[in-house]
Structure 1
Amino acid sequence: MIVIRSDKEDAKGKVEKRKSRSFIPFIKLVLTFLVLFILIPIGITLLLHLPWYLSFIYPYGIIIGVILIITAVWTIYKGIKDLKLTYSASGYENEEELVTTGIYGYTRNPMYFGATILILGWFLVLPFTFILISSVLFLFLFYFTAKSEENQLSQKFGKKYLSYKRNVPLFIPYKKSYKK
């Protein structure tokens, strides 16, 4: 027996399925953020009896912090834009091509670099000890995530990625751009 479904029913089923799946990863992301960025740093601050507020940074750090935050937002935006993502029914996708131009010619992980700068800028604007501790924790998280992604990219793109990896730094950009 053959059952034929209409496209409307099939599309409706896919949308409902995607909606039900997308909520759980979001909850995991929020919980990870709360634990990593708030609970652990506050616990370390309390455990080590560190001061809550680093007042010696306050008047001077605001200007530098705002500059870092603006730079970070631009870096993250540029990293997302240079990926050349396209939207389809299944979500955002890349064209299955290794991106080595634009900001990716200066750093292999512009979004992680931008997020690190963003957190450090936030610390300079609001110099609470737990923000400094969380920025260090996020730096470790970004490093290990980037290393994991590198393994996947080297398997997927092979020698092309290894050549790119040798010429472009992991996080902190160089002045020299990567040439294919």
Structure 2
Amino acid sequence: MNTLPAAKLFKEPANWPLMPPWWLLSSTDAAALLNIKPATLHSWRIRGHGPRAYPPMYLRPTQGRPLYYQYGTLRGWAAAALGMGYEIEDQCIDFFHSVFPVLAEGSGTIAGRIRVFEDQFQQDREKVLRGQTGNMIDRGHVHQLDIYRERQPTRIGKAPLIGSI
């Protein structure tokens, strides 16, 4: 039995979308990103070969009790299938370099930077939706990230993000 069942999927470098590594994807979205069927992802998860899934314990309950995958975990798992390492901290720094360079060189924890980014993104998103220019994040990045933000599961109250760093 192949110990890395997904290794053949990643012979070519993947063209990963621009998305914060801490955001969550549904099982269906994760399977589409990996270019596999959701049943294959489910099978890997059961056998212990697939990327780590997160239960919706802090999220509003939905029908079927879905599982979510952290985007950074998927990328790290794909890199490991090729024998490389791409830790979530490195993914966060790379993301901040491309979208919000002020946070890339700053001091503090990754979790603190994530909170600052989320707050600033929300403010700039509201401005862009009103037709104004954002203060810190480029309008194109806001539009590109907004596609994925709309799909984020909603949290109950002020519970911490699942898989937050």
- The structure with the larger Rg is 1
Identify the TM-score tier after normalising by the shorter chain: under 0.3
Say which structure is richer in helix: 1
- TM (normalized to structure 1)? 0.24
